[in-house]
Amino acid sequence: MWARVGLLGSVGLGSMFWSQKNKTEVSPYELKLIQVLFRHGARTPLKSIPDVFEAQWVPELLEAPAHTEMDYKVTDLQGGPRPPSPVEESYRAKILTGGTYPGQLTTLGMQQLYDLGVKLRKRYIEDVPFLTSSFSPKEVYIRSTNIVRTIESAKCLVAGLFQQEQAGVVPILTDKAENEVLYPNYYGCKLLKLLSGPRWTESSTLPDIAADLRSIQSALGVDPHQHLDFILIRDDMVARETHGLPVPTALEHWRNTVEKRAVDMVCHIYEPSKRQIVKMCVGPFFNILLTNIEDKVQGTTSNPDRKLFLYSVHDTTLMPCLMALGVFDMKWPPYAADITLELHQHRQTKQHYVKVSYIGQDQKIPGCSDVYCPLNEFKEALAVYSLPDERYQALCNSTEDQLKL
């Protein structure tokens, strides 16, 4: 009897694998290009909640696992020397209790990005043999914000994706701070600062948010005159929780409120219903993503072998991107969250389609007739947010009165 069950089981299993394999082979869509925007991994907090006991952020929490190492080089967008990083310098002007700097990728964060790389390997090398199994700079383009945690996150993802196999040094490209478009650039874009600056200040004074903030400050025993907001509280709380470090007891009762109010603040700051601020946050980046797709479709790219674009970014990048795509779920993107854009071509009709996923879940974009979104529909959905560089620069240097978005 056992032999029969075993035989039936193995036949059943075999037929299941056969049908899965067959299903893959007869997919009407052929993958042509992948673009992945991913948040860095777990890190030390940017600031500690004042007046509460501090977690010990010791250097041992930041040690790089050997399997995440790659031979890499950070350059500017033209391949020249890496630009200065005023953001990183601002982190390194402070030291957290325990002796490490704020905003640094931890061992756990490195592993999270390595694991994301392994997932991408399964999807694009093992299940569908689209990428070659070792890193090739002709095939893969990597761009990061010029901050150590995103640069290291990119390296760890590539280590997982290619299992540390590389044909040549891994180039990680960055731009100078004033030109950065991979996050909302309040310093490089005067108009964005003008539009969103007052909303940042307002966001903590909205009646419901302010009432909850007063209650939580009191529960934590934080001096009412200390500057505190829900984004800062959430940042420290999640960093502690993720690394198994002690969290103030009072926060446990407030955890869901902190999550909700931090997102409420972001929604007030970006004001997605009006488009204007979100457009200035994501416009030039969307233009890059659409240009990459268009170059592949038209065959106008100077790198015909390129199959994968990787962009190492931040939660403040992903949230306005999700808002602009119409799929923001009102939850803060976790460490190592990714938005993946796949370009496909229908094998029979030769029409192109774009499929968007967020943390592994396919998304149906508003304005698209299906998850596999016809390219013209996808371009139309993004057109209201996409900004060519010259237009973005002109808007950045304009005032609110001159604005015609």
Q: What is the DSSP letter of 123?
A: I
Angle at Cα 38 formed by Cα 340 and Cα 100, nearest 5°?
A: 170
The whole-angstrom distance between residue 331's C-alpha and the CA centroid of its chain comes to 14
Of 40, 243, 314, 352, the catalytic one is 40
Residue 295 falls in the annotated catalytic set: no
Longest C-alpha distance within the chain, in Å? 82
CB 146 within 8 A of CB 87: yes
Strands 170-174 and 308-313: unpaired
CB 283 within 8 A of CB 392: yes
CB 131 within 8 A of CB 157: no
Residue 40 falls in the annotated catalytic set: yes
Strand partners, 174: 76
Q: Is the dihedral of CA 290, 293, 296, 301 positive or negative?
A: positive
The whole-angstrom distance between residue 372's C-alpha and the CA centroid of its chain comes to 22
Of 264, 295, 315, 389, the catalytic one is 315
Strands 352-358 and 361-363: antiparallel
Q: How many CB atoms lie within 10 A of CB 275?
A: 15
Q: Which residues are catalytic?
A: 40, 315
